[in-house]
Amino acid sequence: MSKIKEILSVLEEMAPLAYAEDFDNVGLLVGNPDTEATGVLVCHDALESVLEEAIAKDCNLVVCFHPILFSGIKKITGKNYVERSIIKAIKNDIAIYSVHTALDNHQDGVNKIFCDALGLTNTTILIPKENFIRKLITYTIAENAEKLRNSLFDAGAGNIGNYEDCSFNSKGIGTYMGNEHSNPQLGERFEFVQGEEIKIEVTFEKYLESKILKALFSNHAYEEVAYEVYELQNKHQNIGLGMLGEFENPMDEKDFLLFVKEKMKSEGIRHSTFLGKQIKKVAVLGGSGSYAIKNAILAGADAFLTADLKYHQFYEAENRLLLADIGHFESERYTKNYIVDYLRKKILNFAIILSEENTNPVKYL
Protein backbone atom coordinates (compact mmCIF):
# COMPACT_ATOMS: atom_id res chain seq x y z
CA MET A 1 0.00 0.00 0.00
CA SER A 2 1.67 3.20 -1.17
CA LYS A 3 -0.82 5.86 -2.19
CA ILE A 4 -3.07 7.85 0.11
CA LYS A 5 -6.15 6.79 -1.84
CA GLU A 6 -5.49 3.15 -0.97
CA ILE A 7 -5.59 4.03 2.73
CA LEU A 8 -8.75 6.05 2.17
CA SER A 9 -10.48 2.97 0.73
CA VAL A 10 -9.76 1.14 4.00
CA LEU A 11 -11.18 4.07 5.98
CA GLU A 12 -14.34 3.97 3.89
CA GLU A 13 -14.71 0.26 4.65
CA MET A 14 -14.52 1.15 8.34
CA ALA A 15 -16.97 4.05 8.09
CA PRO A 16 -18.80 4.37 4.73
CA LEU A 17 -19.17 8.06 3.90
CA ALA A 18 -22.78 7.42 2.90
CA TYR A 19 -23.54 6.80 6.60
CA ALA A 20 -22.72 10.43 7.44
CA GLU A 21 -25.40 12.99 8.21
CA ASP A 22 -26.32 15.41 5.42
CA PHE A 23 -25.07 18.43 7.36
CA ASP A 24 -21.63 16.92 7.89
CA ASN A 25 -18.36 17.33 6.01
CA VAL A 26 -16.56 13.99 5.90
CA GLY A 27 -13.96 12.30 3.73
CA LEU A 28 -10.83 13.82 2.22
CA LEU A 29 -10.85 17.52 3.15
CA VAL A 30 -7.32 18.51 2.11
CA GLY A 31 -4.72 16.87 -0.13
CA ASN A 32 -4.19 14.80 -3.25
CA PRO A 33 -5.26 11.15 -2.97
CA ASP A 34 -2.67 10.12 -5.58
CA THR A 35 0.21 11.25 -3.36
CA GLU A 36 2.57 8.56 -2.08
CA ALA A 37 1.84 7.99 1.61
CA THR A 38 4.62 8.21 4.20
CA GLY A 39 2.65 7.57 7.38
CA VAL A 40 -0.73 8.02 9.04
CA LEU A 41 -1.37 10.06 12.19
CA VAL A 42 -4.77 9.52 13.85
CA CYS A 43 -6.18 12.29 16.04
CA HIS A 44 -9.38 13.75 17.41
CA ASP A 45 -9.00 17.25 15.93
CA ALA A 46 -6.59 18.27 13.15
CA LEU A 47 -5.22 21.38 14.87
CA GLU A 48 -1.93 23.11 14.09
CA SER A 49 -0.19 21.28 16.92
CA VAL A 50 -1.33 17.94 15.48
CA LEU A 51 -0.07 18.87 12.03
CA GLU A 52 3.30 19.79 13.56
CA GLU A 53 3.31 16.36 15.19
CA ALA A 54 2.57 14.80 11.79
CA ILE A 55 5.51 16.66 10.25
CA ALA A 56 7.83 15.55 13.06
CA LYS A 57 6.73 11.92 12.65
CA ASP A 58 6.86 11.95 8.83
CA CYS A 59 3.12 11.36 8.37
CA ASN A 60 1.51 12.99 5.36
CA LEU A 61 -2.02 11.74 6.09
CA VAL A 62 -3.86 12.93 9.18
CA VAL A 63 -7.05 11.04 9.99
CA CYS A 64 -9.22 13.05 12.36
CA PHE A 65 -12.58 12.43 13.96
CA HIS A 66 -13.93 16.00 13.79
CA PRO A 67 -13.69 17.75 10.39
CA ILE A 68 -11.41 20.80 10.60
CA LEU A 69 -13.41 22.20 7.65
CA PHE A 70 -17.05 22.06 8.67
CA SER A 71 -18.78 24.97 6.97
CA GLY A 72 -17.72 26.88 3.88
CA ILE A 73 -14.93 29.44 4.10
CA LYS A 74 -14.35 32.22 1.57
CA LYS A 75 -10.81 33.21 2.54
CA ILE A 76 -7.75 31.43 3.87
CA THR A 77 -5.63 34.14 5.46
CA GLY A 78 -4.58 32.46 8.71
CA LYS A 79 -6.82 34.62 10.90
CA ASN A 80 -8.21 31.69 12.90
CA TYR A 81 -7.26 28.17 13.98
CA VAL A 82 -9.08 26.54 11.06
CA GLU A 83 -7.34 28.62 8.40
CA ARG A 84 -3.93 28.22 10.06
CA SER A 85 -4.35 24.44 10.12
CA ILE A 86 -5.32 24.34 6.44
CA ILE A 87 -2.37 26.53 5.46
CA LYS A 88 0.06 24.34 7.40
CA ALA A 89 -1.36 21.17 5.83
CA ILE A 90 -1.10 22.54 2.29
CA LYS A 91 2.39 23.97 2.79
CA ASN A 92 3.63 20.60 4.02
CA ASP A 93 1.71 18.37 1.57
CA ILE A 94 -0.34 16.79 4.35
CA ALA A 95 -3.74 15.29 3.54
CA ILE A 96 -6.57 15.51 6.08
CA TYR A 97 -9.42 12.99 6.21
CA SER A 98 -12.39 13.12 8.60
CA VAL A 99 -14.78 10.32 9.60
CA HIS A 100 -17.12 12.12 12.05
CA THR A 101 -20.80 11.11 11.66
CA ALA A 102 -19.92 8.33 9.20
CA LEU A 103 -18.45 6.61 12.27
CA ASP A 104 -21.13 8.01 14.61
CA ASN A 105 -23.81 6.14 12.65
CA HIS A 106 -21.91 2.84 12.36
CA GLN A 107 -23.05 0.01 14.62
CA ASP A 108 -19.43 -0.60 15.67
CA GLY A 109 -18.55 3.10 15.77
CA VAL A 110 -18.49 5.94 18.29
CA ASN A 111 -21.43 4.86 20.44
CA LYS A 112 -20.49 1.17 20.49
CA ILE A 113 -17.02 2.26 21.60
CA PHE A 114 -18.72 4.36 24.31
CA CYS A 115 -20.82 1.38 25.43
CA ASP A 116 -17.84 -0.97 25.43
CA ALA A 117 -15.85 1.44 27.62
CA LEU A 118 -18.65 1.21 30.20
CA GLY A 119 -19.15 -2.54 29.83
CA LEU A 120 -22.72 -2.23 28.51
CA THR A 121 -24.16 -5.28 26.76
CA ASN A 122 -27.20 -6.12 24.58
CA THR A 123 -26.58 -2.95 22.59
CA THR A 124 -29.03 -1.57 20.01
CA ILE A 125 -29.20 1.63 17.97
CA LEU A 126 -31.03 4.47 19.76
CA ILE A 127 -32.14 6.42 16.64
CA PRO A 128 -32.17 4.11 13.59
CA LYS A 129 -31.46 5.83 10.28
CA GLU A 130 -34.52 6.47 8.11
CA ASN A 131 -34.95 6.45 4.31
CA PHE A 132 -31.75 4.48 3.86
CA ILE A 133 -33.10 1.16 2.56
CA ARG A 134 -34.16 0.51 -1.02
CA LYS A 135 -35.68 -2.51 -2.74
CA LEU A 136 -34.83 -3.89 -6.17
CA ILE A 137 -37.38 -6.00 -8.06
CA THR A 138 -36.43 -7.76 -11.28
CA TYR A 139 -37.63 -10.66 -13.44
CA THR A 140 -35.66 -13.38 -15.21
CA ILE A 141 -35.83 -16.94 -16.47
CA ALA A 142 -35.28 -19.82 -14.05
CA GLU A 143 -31.94 -20.75 -15.66
CA ASN A 144 -30.55 -17.28 -14.86
CA ALA A 145 -32.06 -16.79 -11.39
CA GLU A 146 -29.31 -18.31 -9.23
CA LYS A 147 -26.48 -16.56 -11.07
CA LEU A 148 -28.31 -13.23 -10.96
CA ARG A 149 -29.23 -13.54 -7.27
CA ASN A 150 -25.66 -14.37 -6.28
CA SER A 151 -24.28 -11.42 -8.23
CA LEU A 152 -26.68 -9.10 -6.39
CA PHE A 153 -25.64 -10.61 -3.05
CA ASP A 154 -21.97 -10.14 -3.93
CA ALA A 155 -22.68 -6.47 -4.69
CA GLY A 156 -24.10 -5.96 -1.19
CA ALA A 157 -27.83 -6.64 -1.62
CA GLY A 158 -29.81 -8.91 0.68
CA ASN A 159 -28.30 -7.95 4.05
CA ILE A 160 -30.95 -7.62 6.76
CA GLY A 161 -29.75 -7.27 10.35
CA ASN A 162 -27.78 -10.36 11.29
CA TYR A 163 -28.70 -12.15 8.04
CA GLU A 164 -27.24 -12.03 4.55
CA ASP A 165 -28.23 -13.40 1.11
CA CYS A 166 -31.87 -12.50 1.85
CA SER A 167 -34.30 -12.42 -1.07
CA PHE A 168 -37.90 -13.19 -1.97
CA ASN A 169 -38.59 -15.20 -5.11
CA SER A 170 -41.89 -15.97 -6.79
CA LYS A 171 -42.96 -17.55 -10.06
CA GLY A 172 -45.15 -15.94 -12.67
CA ILE A 173 -45.86 -15.71 -16.38
CA GLY A 174 -44.01 -13.09 -18.42
CA THR A 175 -44.87 -11.98 -21.94
CA TYR A 176 -43.14 -9.92 -24.61
CA MET A 177 -42.81 -9.41 -28.36
CA GLY A 178 -39.66 -7.93 -29.90
CA ASN A 179 -39.56 -5.43 -32.77
CA GLU A 180 -37.21 -5.39 -35.77
CA HIS A 181 -34.32 -4.10 -33.66
CA SER A 182 -34.64 -6.72 -30.92
CA ASN A 183 -32.47 -9.75 -30.24
CA PRO A 184 -34.58 -11.85 -27.83
CA GLN A 185 -33.08 -14.54 -25.61
CA LEU A 186 -36.13 -16.71 -26.23
CA GLY A 187 -38.31 -16.66 -29.38
CA GLU A 188 -37.96 -14.61 -32.55
CA ARG A 189 -38.60 -11.04 -33.58
CA PHE A 190 -42.32 -10.24 -33.91
CA GLU A 191 -43.18 -13.45 -32.04
CA PHE A 192 -45.41 -13.21 -29.00
CA VAL A 193 -43.54 -15.10 -26.26
CA GLN A 194 -45.15 -16.33 -23.07
CA GLY A 195 -43.13 -18.18 -20.45
CA GLU A 196 -42.42 -18.79 -16.78
CA GLU A 197 -40.26 -16.19 -15.03
CA ILE A 198 -38.81 -15.75 -11.55
CA LYS A 199 -39.47 -12.49 -9.74
CA ILE A 200 -36.51 -11.61 -7.48
CA GLU A 201 -36.78 -9.04 -4.70
CA VAL A 202 -33.81 -7.84 -2.62
CA THR A 203 -33.19 -4.88 -0.31
CA PHE A 204 -29.98 -2.85 -0.12
CA GLU A 205 -28.50 0.28 1.45
CA LYS A 206 -29.10 3.19 -0.90
CA TYR A 207 -25.44 4.14 -1.39
CA LEU A 208 -24.92 0.73 -3.04
CA GLU A 209 -27.46 1.39 -5.81
CA SER A 210 -25.01 1.98 -8.68
CA LYS A 211 -23.05 -1.15 -7.71
CA ILE A 212 -26.25 -3.20 -7.46
CA LEU A 213 -27.49 -2.03 -10.85
CA LYS A 214 -24.12 -2.75 -12.45
CA ALA A 215 -24.33 -6.33 -11.16
CA LEU A 216 -27.91 -6.58 -12.41
CA PHE A 217 -27.13 -5.47 -15.96
CA SER A 218 -23.91 -7.53 -16.15
CA ASN A 219 -25.51 -10.80 -15.07
CA HIS A 220 -29.05 -10.64 -16.40
CA ALA A 221 -29.95 -12.94 -19.28
CA TYR A 222 -32.19 -10.47 -21.08
CA GLU A 223 -31.30 -7.89 -23.69
CA GLU A 224 -33.69 -5.42 -22.02
CA VAL A 225 -33.70 -5.72 -18.24
CA ALA A 226 -37.00 -5.03 -16.49
CA TYR A 227 -36.43 -3.76 -12.96
CA GLU A 228 -37.90 -1.45 -10.31
CA VAL A 229 -36.22 0.37 -7.39
CA TYR A 230 -38.25 1.60 -4.42
CA GLU A 231 -37.31 3.68 -1.39
CA LEU A 232 -38.61 1.95 1.73
CA GLN A 233 -39.87 3.62 4.88
CA ASN A 234 -38.25 0.96 7.08
CA LYS A 235 -35.76 2.19 9.64
CA HIS A 236 -32.27 0.69 9.41
CA GLN A 237 -31.78 -1.09 12.73
CA ASN A 238 -27.99 -1.34 12.37
CA ILE A 239 -27.22 2.24 11.31
CA GLY A 240 -28.04 5.34 13.31
CA LEU A 241 -27.15 7.71 16.11
CA GLY A 242 -26.79 6.82 19.76
CA MET A 243 -26.98 3.43 21.40
CA LEU A 244 -28.77 1.59 24.19
CA GLY A 245 -27.12 -0.95 26.44
CA GLU A 246 -27.51 -2.65 29.80
CA PHE A 247 -25.44 -3.35 32.87
CA GLU A 248 -25.48 -6.90 34.15
CA ASN A 249 -25.72 -5.54 37.68
CA PRO A 250 -27.63 -2.29 38.32
CA MET A 251 -26.06 0.44 40.44
CA ASP A 252 -27.39 3.49 42.24
CA GLU A 253 -27.18 6.88 40.56
CA LYS A 254 -24.20 8.34 42.40
CA ASP A 255 -22.13 5.17 42.03
CA PHE A 256 -23.10 5.11 38.37
CA LEU A 257 -21.87 8.64 37.70
CA LEU A 258 -18.63 8.03 39.61
CA PHE A 259 -18.14 4.88 37.53
CA VAL A 260 -18.74 6.82 34.30
CA LYS A 261 -16.38 9.58 35.43
CA GLU A 262 -13.61 7.04 36.01
CA LYS A 263 -14.12 5.01 32.83
CA MET A 264 -14.47 8.02 30.52
CA LYS A 265 -11.79 10.04 32.36
CA SER A 266 -14.17 12.94 32.79
CA GLU A 267 -13.02 15.81 34.99
CA GLY A 268 -16.58 16.85 35.74
CA ILE A 269 -20.13 15.63 35.13
CA ARG A 270 -23.22 17.84 35.12
CA HIS A 271 -26.43 15.93 35.76
CA SER A 272 -30.15 16.24 36.41
CA THR A 273 -31.89 15.50 39.72
CA PHE A 274 -31.32 12.10 41.27
CA LEU A 275 -34.52 10.05 41.20
CA GLY A 276 -33.57 7.37 43.70
CA LYS A 277 -33.67 4.61 41.10
CA GLN A 278 -31.25 1.89 40.06
CA ILE A 279 -29.40 2.38 36.78
CA LYS A 280 -29.48 -0.66 34.49
CA LYS A 281 -30.54 0.46 31.00
CA VAL A 282 -28.36 3.28 29.66
CA ALA A 283 -28.59 5.39 26.50
CA VAL A 284 -25.43 7.04 25.17
CA LEU A 285 -24.71 9.48 22.36
CA GLY A 286 -21.16 10.70 21.85
CA GLY A 287 -20.80 14.43 21.23
CA SER A 288 -23.72 16.88 21.23
CA GLY A 289 -26.82 14.80 21.88
CA SER A 290 -29.52 16.98 23.41
CA TYR A 291 -31.85 16.21 20.49
CA ALA A 292 -31.99 12.57 21.61
CA ILE A 293 -33.30 13.12 25.16
CA LYS A 294 -36.85 12.18 24.14
CA ASN A 295 -35.58 9.12 22.27
CA ALA A 296 -33.79 7.95 25.42
CA ILE A 297 -36.95 8.44 27.50
CA LEU A 298 -39.14 6.60 24.97
CA ALA A 299 -36.60 3.75 24.88
CA GLY A 300 -37.03 3.29 28.64
CA ALA A 301 -33.47 4.24 29.56
CA ASP A 302 -32.70 4.80 33.22
CA ALA A 303 -29.93 7.23 32.27
CA PHE A 304 -28.75 9.13 29.20
CA LEU A 305 -25.08 10.07 28.76
CA THR A 306 -24.13 12.73 26.22
CA ALA A 307 -22.55 16.21 26.04
CA ASP A 308 -23.09 19.93 25.41
CA LEU A 309 -26.39 20.15 27.31
CA LYS A 310 -27.81 23.64 27.97
CA TYR A 311 -29.43 24.77 31.22
CA HIS A 312 -33.06 24.31 30.17
CA GLN A 313 -32.39 20.96 28.55
CA PHE A 314 -31.82 19.37 31.93
CA TYR A 315 -35.53 19.99 32.63
CA GLU A 316 -36.32 17.71 29.69
CA ALA A 317 -35.37 14.73 31.84
CA GLU A 318 -38.90 15.22 33.25
CA ASN A 319 -38.02 13.12 36.33
CA ARG A 320 -38.10 10.05 34.09
CA LEU A 321 -34.38 9.39 33.73
CA LEU A 322 -30.99 10.62 34.89
CA LEU A 323 -29.52 13.01 32.34
CA ALA A 324 -25.74 13.54 32.40
CA ASP A 325 -23.33 15.72 30.42
CA ILE A 326 -19.91 14.10 30.69
CA GLY A 327 -18.09 16.40 28.22
CA HIS A 328 -17.88 16.39 24.43
CA PHE A 329 -14.28 15.21 24.09
CA GLU A 330 -14.71 12.74 26.94
CA SER A 331 -17.70 11.05 25.32
CA GLU A 332 -15.68 10.42 22.15
CA ARG A 333 -12.21 10.00 23.65
CA TYR A 334 -11.63 6.36 22.64
CA THR A 335 -12.65 6.85 19.02
CA LYS A 336 -9.14 7.58 17.76
CA ASN A 337 -7.86 4.42 19.49
CA TYR A 338 -10.48 2.40 17.60
CA ILE A 339 -9.42 3.94 14.27
CA VAL A 340 -5.75 3.16 14.95
CA ASP A 341 -6.54 -0.46 15.90
CA TYR A 342 -8.68 -0.91 12.79
CA LEU A 343 -6.04 0.50 10.43
CA ARG A 344 -3.24 -1.52 12.02
CA LYS A 345 -5.20 -4.73 11.42
CA LYS A 346 -5.84 -3.83 7.78
CA ILE A 347 -2.52 -2.19 6.90
CA LEU A 348 0.44 -4.26 8.00
CA ASN A 349 3.29 -2.59 6.13
CA PHE A 350 2.71 1.01 7.12
CA ALA A 351 3.16 3.28 10.13
CA ILE A 352 -0.17 4.01 11.84
CA ILE A 353 0.47 6.40 14.73
CA LEU A 354 -1.85 7.53 17.53
CA SER A 355 -1.51 11.26 18.11
CA GLU A 356 -0.14 12.25 21.51
CA GLU A 357 -1.78 15.69 21.35
CA ASN A 358 -4.69 16.37 23.72
CA THR A 359 -6.97 18.56 21.61
CA ASN A 360 -9.75 18.95 24.20
CA PRO A 361 -10.41 22.72 24.30
CA VAL A 362 -12.32 22.51 27.60
CA LYS A 363 -10.27 22.82 30.79
CA TYR A 364 -11.35 22.37 34.41
CA LEU A 365 -10.18 23.92 37.69
Annotated binding site for a divalent metal cation: 66, 104, 328, 332
| Cβ count near 43 (within 10 Å) | 27
Produce one character per residue of 94-116: b if its CB has 16 or more CB atoms within 10 Å, e if not: bbbbbbbbbbbbbbebbbbbbbb
Radius of gyration from C-alpha coordinates of the chain: 25
Question: Kind of pairing, strands 40-45 and 61-66?
Answer: parallel
The Cα–Cα gap between 160 and 176 comes to: 34
Angle, vertex CA 136, rays to CA 134 and CA 141, nearest 5: 170
Q: Which residues are annotated as a binding site?
A: 66, 104, 328, 332
For 302, residues 6+ apart whose C-beta sits below 8 A from its C-beta are: 250, 277, 278, 279, 280, 281, 282, 321, 322
| Cβ count near 118 (within 10 Å) | 17
